[in-house]
Structure 1
C-alpha cells in the first residue's frame, strides 16, 4: 500500500512516500481503507519532535475518513463495509491516516452517514473534539452538546475562520447559543458568518471589546480561545461573571498574564484544552455528540460553511505540511488517498 512515514524529526522534508504491506487488524481493531486524511497543526508540531522510544517509523495524521474493510477479533463483523470518520489514529500509536489502510481501535472509527462526504469526516476529529471540550467546561455545564444545551448562553470564538473556531461556531449554534467571533479581516469575517456566527468583529479595524459588549451587554459566558496570551485583556474585558476562557493553542514562548485582584470577583475560570488527554468519559461524550451533530446535518465543510478545503495528493504530504505550517492557508488541509 502507499503510505507516508517519517523516521526522524524535522521539517516537511522528513516525510517519505513509500510502499508498505497492508496491515492486519488485531484484537479490538478495525482496518479502514482511508479515502481522505485530515491535517492539523498538531501533526506538523509532532513531526518536529523525536519519535517515541522504540519506534522506528511513524505514519502521521490523527484524523481521516474511509470505509472499514476488515475487523479484528472481538469486533462486530457487521462493521465491515461501514463508512466511518477516524479520531486520534496516531496518538501513542504508529498508525496514522496518511496511508491507504490504517488500523485503529474499534471506538476510534465512528459511523459516517451516507449523506456526509468523506471530506467532512476527515475534518472532524481533533478540531471538533477540541471545540466540544471548550464549550462544555464551564462551571454548571452543560457537560454535553445538543439542541438547547447552550440556550441563553453567549459564546465568543476567537479566530472564527480557523478549523477549531469553525467547529465551535457550528456546535454552539446547534446548541442554541448566541455566537460572536473575532477575526483579522473582512474575508475571514465572511467565513465566520457562513459558519453561523451572528457577529464577526475585525479586531484590526474595530474596538473589539466595545463591539463584543454591544452584542453581549452582560458579557460572554464561554470564550473559545486560540491565543490566550495575546487576548487575555480582551477576554477579561468581555467575560461575564462565572465565565470560562477555554484555550487550546498558543505559541511555544507565549505566557498568560491575568490581573488577579480585578478578576477574582468575577470567578473567571481559565481552562486549558488538550484534546488528547481529556478525561475518558468527557472524550466519549464528545465523540457521541459530534456524531449526533453530523447525523443532524449541523456540521458542514466547504467555503459555504466557512471552512474552505485545500486538497493535496498523498504523495504531496510534505507540501501540505509546509502550507499549513507557513500559515498562509485559511481553512482545512486534506490529503486525498488514491
Structure 2
C-alpha cells in the first residue's frame, strides 16, 4: 500500500514521508477498506505538530476521516459487505494507522455505509465535523421551533450544525468574521448571520428573540465567547461546547448559570456514547440518501501533497473541508 506518514513530530514539510508500506489485513471483526479520500482536520495537524503531546507510535499514518470501498473482511464479518461504499470515523484515534493511505483495516462499525447519492469526497467530510454537530444539537432533546446559535458558522462543524438545525425545524443564528464567511453561512441555510467583528451579537440576538435569547448554543470557542453566551442564552438553555482554544481555562460563572438553570455540555467526538453515535449515523445516512446536506470542500490535494494539505489547514483561512484524493477507485 501507499501512504503518507510521519515518524517524528514537527512541521509538515519536514516530517511527512510518502512511500510504500506493508498491506494491512483485517483481523477478527474488522474490514479492509480501499481508501479513495481522506480529510485533514485541525486535530490531525495538531497531533502531527506535537501540540497534543508526543507520538504514541513509532510511525503514524494520520487522519480520522475518509471514505472508500470494503475489499475484504475478517472473521465474524458478513462477506456481503465486500464491495460496499463506506465512510470512516475514528480511523486515526488512538491508532497508528489512519485513513491517509490506500488501505486501512479497522473495526467494521467504523466503516459506515455511504449511499450512492454521496461521493467519496462527500464521505471524507463527515466523521469529525458531522458527528460533532449532531451531538451538539441533539444531545439534549428535540430542537423543533427553537432558536439556536451556531458560533463559527463558516467552520466545518458550524456548516453541518446550521444545516442539521434547519432540517429539524430550528431558527438558526450564526456568527462569522468576514463577508466571505457570511455568504457561506447563508448558503448553508442560516437565518441570521452576524459579523462579530462589526456587530453587537448579543444585542441583535436579544432583539430578534424579544429578549428571550436562544435555547441552545453550538460553541466553537467556549471561553472566548462566554461573556456573549451569558447574555444570549435563555433560561434552561444549553451550551454544547467542542472547543475553547482562545481561553482553555475560563472562569465559569457557576451561580449565575445555576440560577438560570443553564447547562454546559462538553462534546468530544472521539468518545461519543454508542447510542449517540448510532443516532448520528442513522440521521446522516437518511440526509445523505435524500441529498439534504451540502459538503463544502475548500481544496483537494493528492496523496503526494499531504504536507501541503496540512500546511493549508494550519493557515486557518480555509472555508470547507480539506480533502486528500488518496486513490481512484
Query: Aligned partners of 1:23 and 1:254: how far apart in 2?
Result: 38
> Aligned residue for 1:25?
26
Q: Deviations over 1:249-290 (max 9, x none)?
A: 122753323433433321111111111122222222222222
Q: Are the counterparts in 1 of residues 65 and 125 from structure 2 also a CA contact under 8 Å?
A: yes
After superposing the two structures, state which structure 1 stretch, 155-164 or 292-301, moved more: 292-301
What's the TM-score, normalizing by structure 2? 0.94
* Cα offset, 1:93, TM superposition: 1.8
The match for 1:216 among 190, 209, 217 is: 209
Consecutive unaligned residues of structure 1, counting only runs of 5 or more, are 143-149, 302-306
1:282 maps to 276
Hey, what does 1:6 align to over in structure 2? 6
The 5 Å alignment of 1:116-155 reads: 116-138=118-140, 141-142=141-142, 150-155=143-148
Q: Offset of 1:316 from its aligned partner?
A: 1.0
User: Which residue matches 1:16?
Assistant: 17
Which consecutive residues of structure 2, in runs of 5 or more, have no partner in the other structure? none
Alignment partner, residue 107 of structure 1: 109
Q: Which residue of 2 aligns with 1:304?
A: none
**Residue of structure 1 in register with 2:180 after alignment:** 187
Contact kept in structure 2, 1:32 and 1:103, CA below 8 Å: yes
Aligned partners of 1:257 and 1:330: how far apart in 2? Answer: 31
Name the structure 1 match of 2:305.
316
d(CA) in 2 for partners of 1:222 and 1:15? Answer: 41
How far, CA to CA, are the matches of 1:76 and 1:159 in structure 2?
41
Contact 1:91 1:276 in 2 (8 A): yes
Please tell me whether the aligned partners of residues 137 and 244 of structure 1 are also in contact (alpha carbons under 8 angstroms).
no
Matched, 1:168 2:170: no
Aligned to 1:200, the other structure's residue is in SS state strand
Question: Which residue is 1:241 aligned to?
Answer: 235
What secondary structure sits across from 2:153 in the alignment? coil
Report the Cα distance in structure 2 between the residues aligned to 1:199 and 1:253, rounded to whole angstroms. 26
Deviation string, structure 1 residues 148-173 (Cα, Å, up to 9, x no partner): xx211111000000000001111111
Give the Å deviation of 1:308.
3.9
1:21 Cα deviation from its structure 2 partner = 2.2
**1:69 aligned residue (63, 68, 71):** 71
**Superposed structure 1 runs of 4+ greater than 4 Å apart:** none
- Aligned partner (choices 89, 92, 97) of residue 90 of structure 1: 92
Secondary structure (helix, strand or coil) at the match of 1:333 reads strand
Structure 1 contact 233–258 (Cα < 8 Å) conserved? no
Larger CA deviation: 59-68 vs 275-284: 275-284
Note if contact 2:139-2:276 (Cα within 8 Å) is conserved in structure 1. Answer: no
